[in-house]
Amino acid sequence: MAASPSIITRDTDKIAAPTGNIYESLAIISKRAKQISSDMKEELNGKLSEFASTVDNLEEIFENREQIEISKFYERMPKPSAMAMEEFLNGEIYWRMRDTEEGTEKK
């Protein structure tokens, strides 16, 4: 099985640098990826709902070219986890940690 060309080896030190902990960084990236995925899903469902048919007959399944093209477009888009990783490494994500002792905010 060939590796996907979108697979990139990452430097774990660069990922851990903003938070000081690789696991905190990955938790932040994971939460952002879920947000991106949710937004993309809502957008896709909104576009596909325009083409939804009211016929509930299982024998008649129509292929709609526009619907297929929209689906293919979203399949070709980068994965939410890759988008979140790029945002994190570029410093585009804001987060804060709840520290009960100090009450400090981190960027």
Q: What pLDDT, on a 0 to 100 scale, did the predictor assign at position 60?
A: 55
- Residue 43 falls inside a structural domain: yes
Residue 95 placed within a domain? no
Residue 80's domain spans which residues? 14-50+65-89
Q: Specify the number of domains making up the chain.
A: 1
Whether 5 is in a domain gets the answer no
Please state at what angle helix 65-76 crosses helix 22-49, rounded to 10 degrees: 170
- What's the pTM? 0.73
- 98 in a structural domain: no
Is residue 102 one of the residues assigned to a domain? no
Q: Is residue 24 part of a domain?
A: yes
Residue with tokens 């957008």: 43
Q: What is the pLDDT of residue 3?
A: 42
25-35 per-position pLDDT tens digit: 999 999 999 99
pLDDT score at 76: 86
The pLDDT tens digits of the residues spanning 42-96 come to: 998 888 887 766 665 555 556 677 888 888 888 888 889 999 999 999 999 998 8
Q: How far apart are CA 104 and CA 107, in angstroms?
A: 10
97 part of a folded domain: no
